[in-house]
Structure 1
Amino acid sequence: MPAHKDAFGTPRSLLILGGTSEIALATARRLIVRGTRTVGLAGRPSPELERAAGHLRGLGADTFTVAFDALDVESHEDALGKVFAEGAVDLVLLAFGVLGDQATDERDPSAAARVAATNYTGAVSAGLVCARALQTQGHGSLVVLSSAAGERARRSDFIYGSSKAGLDTFAQGLGDALHGTGVHVMVVRPASLRRPGTAAHDQEPLATTPEEVATAIELGLRRRSEAVWVPGVLRVVMSALRHLPRALFRRLPL
């Protein structure tokens, strides 16, 4: 996997953990247009993963797939280590995660634990493996897809939100630990995604799209930002919600 960044800071090689993620694939498409030449898609083997790889090959990228299971933490060092053994990686995009179903998961603790294990435990394991590899090669960026839902627990999604809160805190700490090593860590906090075919009144306020998140990721990489909110106004909104007295927060339709 040849690696370097061009004069404009575009990563030449990209590894996506969660190779069928809409946001990750939108980011890959955008970066390929800018000059990214090699893309690895890590995920559970599936026709969907192969279709995603085929699509990126059609855009001109040398694309390969990697068998990767977020829940199988014992396999992470071997699976991801093989990618780095082939050559340096400019950018790792940690994009896997599951939303779960709040109502169902509250009634089924094992399902809730699976959400937490995927979004937090699996991400901690994979994130540390990739961070160590990036540090060893002496350069690279790790972009972690967090969520605005992690800023404050909401009644409607506190299981998912709490897992993202843990991931967000982990990624911030990892970024501090790697400061000065040549490795850049960026946390991305998007709002929920707008769904095609869903009526406007059923969409969450400030909902975004994979393409908008991809644009923000590219800009954040160029600026070497440590945190990116999508849309940007979400930073102010979530700051206000975070400091709202709990008694008032409970009354909001969230």
Structure 2
Amino acid sequence: MPAHKDAFSSPKSLLILGGTSEIALATARRLIARRARTVWLAGRPSPDLESAAEQLRELGADTRTVAFDALDPEAHESALGKVFAEGEIDVVILAFGVLGDQATDERDPMAAARVAQTNYTGAVSSGLVCARALQDQGHGALVVLSSVAGERARRSDFIYGSSKAGLDTFAQGLGDALYGTGVHVMVVRPASVRRRGTPARDAAPMATTPEEIAAAIELGLHRRSEVVWVPGALRLVMSALRHVPRTLFRRLPIQ
């Protein structure tokens, strides 16, 4: 099988931007179980980052860490350049982001700006750095973790949602710009993520888990999908909600 095709269906090397992301780590575990043997975890140096790396090493992957801060775009080219200088990367997962606190962030514009800078500005910078590196090597996939929150503004999370809307639009445009180069961009739009320890009865409607998202990412890579919804039925739900008049949308219980 040609190398560039094999990189999608059975990647051997992986770079995670946001090295402690539950979703990205669940994806790494799935890919390690198949064929992946080299994993880079990029994130702020911390015990959690080192613990995540050690857990992947125990699964048999050569796992390394690299200091990376979404809020320091001037350092992105240098930090990520070190990774690509060590060898080709088949899959990059852009998985960092912060939820923020809507009520607090509305009262604190600087806090709101940090949400936007992390989720959008930091992603634009690091995404372009990785896209160029993938293009230089002639193959690879960039997986961008977006969110259903970016599909339509809601009163309860419009600061976070707007940052994800910007990220989603950027990723789609980047995918078009890279079409035909051997580099594939895949946007992942999960519903609310149910974390460990969250009772099912307390989860939001259509809530998913990191493991379910990881399975969808792996399948999407195999199919070379451009957009992945998790769960899949979310595509139909949002197709309808996107066109609901605002006067009615404001009265829906999902606000």
Normalised by the length of structure 1, the TM-score is 0.97
Find the counterpart in structure 2 of residue 36 from structure 1: 36
Q: 1:5 and 1:31, CA in 2 relative to 1: closer, same or farther beyond 3 A?
A: farther
Find the counterpart in structure 2 of residue 165 from structure 1: 165
Q: Distance in 1 between matches of 2:4 and 2:62?
A: 15
Secondary structure of 1:248's match?
A: helix
Find the counterpart in structure 2 of residue 191 from structure 1: 191
The answer (yes or no) to whether the contact 2:187–2:227 under 8 Å persists in 1 is yes
Q: Distance in 2 between matches of 1:21 and 1:49?
A: 10
Find the counterpart in structure 2 of residue 50 from structure 1: 50
Find the counterpart in structure 1 of residue 209 from structure 2: 209
Displacement after TM superposition at 1:64 (Å): 0.1
Find the counterpart in structure 2 of residue 174 from structure 1: 174
Query: C-alpha offsets along residues 175-226 of structure 1, whole Å, 9 cap, x if unaligned?
Result: 0000000000000000111133334342110000000000000000000000
Query: C-alpha offsets along residues 111-139 of structure 1, whole Å, 9 cap, x if unaligned?
Result: 00000000000000000000000001000
Q: 1:166 and 1:8, CA in 2 relative to 1: closer, same or farther beyond 3 A?
A: closer
The answer (yes or no) to whether the contact 1:144–1:171 under 8 Å persists in 2 is yes
Find the counterpart in structure 1 of residue 135 from structure 2: 135
Secondary structure of 1:15's match?
A: strand
Write the mapping of 1:1-254 to structure 2, written as runs, cut at 5 A. 6=6, 9-253=9-253, 254=255
Q: 1:36 and 1:49, CA in 2 relative to 1: closer, same or farther beyond 3 A?
A: same
The amino acid that maps onto 2:236 is V
Moved over 4 A (4+): 3-8
Identity %: 83
Q: Distance in 2 between matches of 1:222 and 1:108?
A: 43
The answer (yes or no) to whether the contact 2:7–2:140 under 8 Å persists in 1 is no
Unaligned runs of 5+ in 1: none
Unaligned runs of 5+ in 2: none
Q: How many corresponding residue pairs?
A: 252
The answer (yes or no) to whether the contact 1:17–1:93 under 8 Å persists in 2 is yes
The answer (yes or no) to whether the contact 2:4–2:182 under 8 Å persists in 1 is no
The amino acid that maps onto 1:113 is A
Q: Distance in 2 between matches of 1:190 and 1:79?
A: 28
Q: Distance in 2 between matches of 1:154 and 1:201?
A: 22
Displacement after TM superposition at 1:8 (Å): 8.0
The answer (yes or no) to whether the contact 2:8–2:90 under 8 Å persists in 1 is no
Q: Distance in 1 between matches of 2:245 and 2:7?
A: 48
